């Protein structure tokens, strides 16, 4: 659920309003919309990367090293 909320916030709360503000009131036209989308994608990548980093760091602190099962993807999830 966490990654979905991060993406929702970055795209619908940041990207689209910022793109609209740059495109219409800002007078940038289509370029403004693209810059808004770029900002949303950048925010998403930073937030998801931070989330992954925190999870991996937590696993390392718990176990002293990264467990093998954490690196493999689980087929049942």
Q: How far is CA 26 from CA 14, 38, 52, 60, in A?
A: 16, 16, 35, 46
Q: Are 23 and 29 in contact (CB under 8 A)?
A: yes
Mean pLDDT of the chain: 88
Three-state DSSP state, 70:
helix
48-57 confidence digits (pLDDT tens)? 999 999 988 8
Cα–Cα distance measured from residue 48 to residue 46, given in angstroms and rounded to the nearest whole number: 6
Three-state DSSP state, 11:
helix
pLDDT number for residue 67: 64
Q: How confident is the model at residue 70 (pLDDT cuts 50, 70, 90)?
A: low
Q: Are 39 and 14 in contact (CB under 8 A)?
A: yes
pTM of the prediction? 0.73
31-40, 42-51, 57-66: least confident range: 57-66
**Span 9-25, mean pLDDT?**
96
pLDDT number for residue 42: 97
């Amino acid at each position: 659920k966490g990654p979905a909320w991060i993406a929702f916030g970055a795209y619908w709360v940041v990207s689209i309003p910022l793109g609209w503000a740059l495109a219409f009131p800002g007078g940038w036209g289509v370029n403004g919309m693209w810059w808004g989308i770029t900002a949303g994608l950048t925010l998403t990548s930073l937030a998801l990367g931070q989330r992954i980093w925190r999870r991996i760091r937590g696993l390392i602190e718990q176990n002293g090293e990264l467990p093998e099962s954490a690196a493999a993807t689980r087929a049942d999830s």
